[in-house]
Amino acid sequence: MDDLLMNEVKFLLAALMFVALVTGIGALIDDWMYPVRVVQSGNHEPLFILLGLVLGFTMRTKSDEDSISALICAIGMALFALLVGGVETTGAGSAPVGFVLATAFFTCMLGTVIFLLRALRARVRHEKADGSSNDQ
């Protein structure tokens, strides 16, 4: 299997496991709107700041695919956080919509973190290669 396709499958499995974890927590506390309230709580603003700093660090070159993918996922994460913020948590009909939007938020959040870690790893490898070629 192609490495890119395998990485995408691994990412989708990680996102599915994380969504299952959050849904499982909601089921344990008998609150199916728990994932929506996690996103609506607004406690993720420090995460946005941290992601912005790391994106600024990794996006030195505009051709790095992992940094660009992380940026796209971060934009999606911010967009879905805004959309989930407007979901009414008391209505029975809003539960499926809120759950889908919260799932999209968590998927974008995981994508951002995974792509940032890949971009950082590529950057460290590139700097090591430049350092070893300069030593000779």
Over residues 59-108, the pLDDT tens digits come to 666 667 787 888 888 888 888 887 777 777 777 777 787 888 888 888 88
pLDDT of residue 62: 60
The letter for the amino acid at 136 is Q
Q: Considering just the CA atoms, what is the radius of gyration of the chain in Å?
A: 18
pLDDT of residue 59: 67
Over residues 3-38, the pLDDT tens digits come to 667 777 777 788 888 888 888 888 888 877 777 777
DSSP assignment of the chain, as one string?
--HHHHHHHHHHHHHHHHHHHHHHHHHHTT-TTHHHHHHHT-TTHHHHHHHHHHHHHHTTSTT-HHHHHHHHHHHHHHHHHHHHHT--SS-STHHHHHHHHHHHHHHHHHHHHHHHHHHHHHHHHHHHHHHHHHH-
Identify which of 37-41, 97-101, 110-114 has the greatest average pLDDT.
110-114
pLDDT of residue 76: 85
Angstrom distance (rounded) from CA 12 to CA 95: 23
pLDDT of residue 60: 66
Which has more confidence, 14 or 57?
A: 14
pLDDT of residue 63: 61
Put simply, whether the predicted model's pTM sits higher than 0.75 gets the answer no
pLDDT of residue 110: 87
Write down the domain spans for the chain. Answer: 3-131
